[in-house]
Amino acid sequence: MTLHEPHSTLSRKGPPRPQDAIAPFTAQPDNSFDMATEDEIGDALTLLAEHGDAISMYAPGSREPILGRILSVDPELPHFVMELNEGATLPSGKITFVTTLRSAKLQFRLSKDDWDPLPGQPLHIPMVFPETCTVLNRRTTERLETPLGITCTAAFAVSETNFHELPVYDISDGGLGMHCSKARAKGLIKGRKLHDVVLEMGEITIEVAEMEIRYTRAFRSFLAGEQLHLGCMFTQLTPEATSKIKTVLDQIKNP
């Protein structure tokens, strides 16, 4: 069995709901960077518009989000149109916009004395691109979720008596994500280097000389109880392993 799996066509989401709201964040040099070119910003806003992703907008001094989504992006000019939820309005002055783009949070600010809507369209507000967009915790390489119904595991030993075989739930050419129960997480701590890891990705076996656990995140599964996400970065890969990982990614992206 290969990693080929049908992908559903992306469809634009409905109007954002209160539970879709995202709080503003404080950027730090070690966990964020700025998009500063029109092309980068335009591509990001276009992707958000295509998916209909929720945009949370905050006025100074307010913790209550104004919800909307990007209706359209001009293909030639640095302009876009924000679509507010029914009944929403934007107060004059500076507004902070927060959303998610793939695995990262995205934030920018715009200011205007009066956010005039398009004629006859009170919920559609024309805007210009921000000068910069701040991206928080963006991965340097895109991670793809492993397909359902395909066995994808990582096997490795932390010590002579502590062996693990864990499911892989996403992978990129820079690393992978695993999960396990908290009860099985002995020795799996941030900063731990894992050596001689064997990945079974469908019919493809990949030997990873070394990878490092870069983050751990606890969560609770309704069915499985307390679980732990493990985000790992490849730190030593042979050319053969790199080639096999590329093959796996190609199979996932091009079923």
**243-253 confidence digits (pLDDT tens):** 999 999 999 98
| Residue at 5 is within a domain | no
Is 80 in the same domain as 165?
no
* pLDDT reported for residue 7: 36
Is 152 in the same domain as 66?
no
* pLDDT reported for residue 227: 81
Single-letter amino acid code for the residue at 100: T
Give the pTM. Answer: 0.54
Is 73 in the same domain as 105?
yes
* pLDDT reported for residue 103: 63
* pLDDT reported for residue 6: 38
Check: CB of residue 47 under 8 Å from CB of residue 124: no
Is 113 in the same domain as 196?
no
The parts of the chain modelled with pLDDT lower than 50 are: 1-10
CA distances from 43 to 25, 39, 46 (A): 22, 6, 5
DSSP category for residue 122: T
Is 157 in the same domain as 174?
yes
Is 23 in the same domain as 117?
yes
Which residue range(s) make up the domain with 243? 144-253
* pLDDT reported for residue 12: 62
* pLDDT reported for residue 67: 97
* pLDDT reported for residue 3: 47
Is 25 in the same domain as 112?
yes
Check: CB of residue 139 under 8 Å from CB of residue 126: no
CA gap 207, 237 in Å, rounded: 8
Is 22 in the same domain as 125?
yes
How many domains does the chain contain in total? 2
CA angle 20, 16, 63 (to 5 degrees): 55
Q: Contacts by 233-238 with C-beta closer than 8 Å and gap 24+?
A: 233/174, 233/175, 234/173, 234/174, 234/175, 234/176, 234/208, 234/210, 235/193, 235/210, 235/211, 236/208, 236/209, 236/210, 236/211, 237/208, 237/209, 238/207, 238/209
CA angle 242, 247, 250 (to 5 degrees): 125
